[in-house]
Homo-oligomer: A and B are copies of this chain.
Amino acid sequence: MALIVQKYGGTSVGSIEKIRNIAVKLKTIKEQGHDLVVVLSAMSGETDRLIRLAQEITPTPDTRELDCLLSIGEQTTVSLMAVTLIDMGIDAVSLLGFQAKIISDDVHGKARIEDVDPARIQEELAQGRIVVVAGFQGIDPNGDITTLGRGGSDTTAVALAAALKADVCEIYTDVTGVFTTDPNVEKRARKLDRISYEEMLEMASLGAKVLEIRSVELAVNHQVVLHVRSTFSDETGTLVMKEEDIMEKRVVSGVAYRKDEARVTLTKVPDKPGIAQTIFKPISDANIVVDMIIQNTSADCLTDLTFTVPKKDFARTMAMLTPTAKEIGAQQLLGDENIAKVSIVGAGMQNHPGVAAKMFAALATAGVNILMISTSEIKISCVIDENYTELAVRALHKEFGLDKVA
């Protein structure tokens, strides 16, 4: 008899029929004697529909009011799920963010969960009920509805699992787990049985979309074991857990990529104190997130500075930097939107020298030119020409033996 928190995403609850299918699964688990807390997203497309509705009024709706509107999506699915369960003879109750006491800050549209008071949920569980909680939404200290941003339902599920000290937090999605790489790019991608929190964090930030990054951070902090698995099959998925609890450590666990960044280069920048501040302060003030920054070794007190920004902010960044480049006496301002970032991730690489060299060699053999490199303890990222993305992913996947069963 375990306490299980489950989360179902938008495609899993996209229709009355799908809701009924999940209800049948829940009934089985409940009848095995487990306690069940189920977190639901809005039906797929519903959040976007509500945003469009508000945008019929204004392109920039008030964020407090938009949150009140958007929370409707999850309110619909949880009440329909509870109706379905009760109709099947299973005692169940839906709880919205304010009822489940999911306390967040008041940053509407991307609020952070600050606390969860599990008393009501525990009370309902003690009554033998399945508790169906609206994901993505919280309540701030003023008593106003907040939303947690894209993927927020994952965060809701992990926060509840932490507060309830659940045995496991199962994230049901439309794939069977976390893969060694994107199966759309490499057919031989394999599902991982286990992955460490740190690896999952890197994979998520490098473009693997299976888990929202904040939910993984929350899981690390509270040591919540995540089980990423498919709504549409009974296959075991991927466990996301402490590195120490994973017996066999792979050097490289996965290959990730993202194509949503652009590269900006300032050449022959006078290398003197304060120059980085002059360049990056206005970019940061404009809320543009800079990812990789590379500064080449200075020659003649002149340096080349290269960094990446989101593609959607590229034009704005170039426009802002045109006067700056002149002001600081840089030779040229160059930009390139046709880049991709390809990365290998693996908790084992910190104890294995030569992983980077092996990566660069594999890319060279495949004829892929490396434009930028950045590394952390458990990942190595290379920026390359966007056209070579899939080729590079497949080459690295093969090089590190990811297509073979471990």
A binding-site residues for B, Cβ under 8 Å: 16, 19-20, 53-54, 56-58, 60-62, 64-66, 68-69, 71-72, 75-76, 78-80, 82-84, 86-87, 93-94, 96, 98-99, 120, 143-145
B66 and A79 within 8 A (CB)? yes
Given contacts A16-B57, A120-B143, A143-B120, whether A78 and B68 have CB atoms under 8 Å apart is: yes
B80 and A69 within 8 A (CB)? yes
Task: Give the docked Cα–Cα distance between A285 and B76 (Å).
Answer: 34
A-B contact pairs, 25 of them (CB 8 A): A19-B57, A20-B57, A53-B80, A54-B80, A57-B83, A58-B84, A60-B87, A61-B87, A62-B83, A62-B86, A65-B79, A65-B82, A65-B83, A65-B86, A65-B93, A68-B78, A68-B94, A69-B76, A69-B80, A69-B83, A71-B75, A72-B75, A96-B145, A98-B98, A98-B143
B83 and A58 within 8 A (CB)? yes
Give the interface SS of chain A, mostly helix, strand, loop or mixed: helix
Contact of A99 among B62, B71, B96, B143 (CB under 8 A): B143
B75 and A61 within 8 A (CB)? no
A16 and B83 within 8 A (CB)? no
Copies of chain A in the complex: 2
Contact of A69 among B68, B69, B79, B144 (CB under 8 A): B79
Smallest beta-carbon distance A71→chain B, Å: 8
Given contacts A98-B98, A99-B144, A120-B143, whether A66 and B54 have CB atoms under 8 Å apart is: no
Smallest beta-carbon distance A143→chain B, Å: 6
B93 and A64 within 8 A (CB)? yes
Residues of chain B with a CB closer than 8 A to A98's CB: 98, 143
Smallest beta-carbon distance A100→chain B, Å: 10
Smallest beta-carbon distance A336→chain B, Å: 39
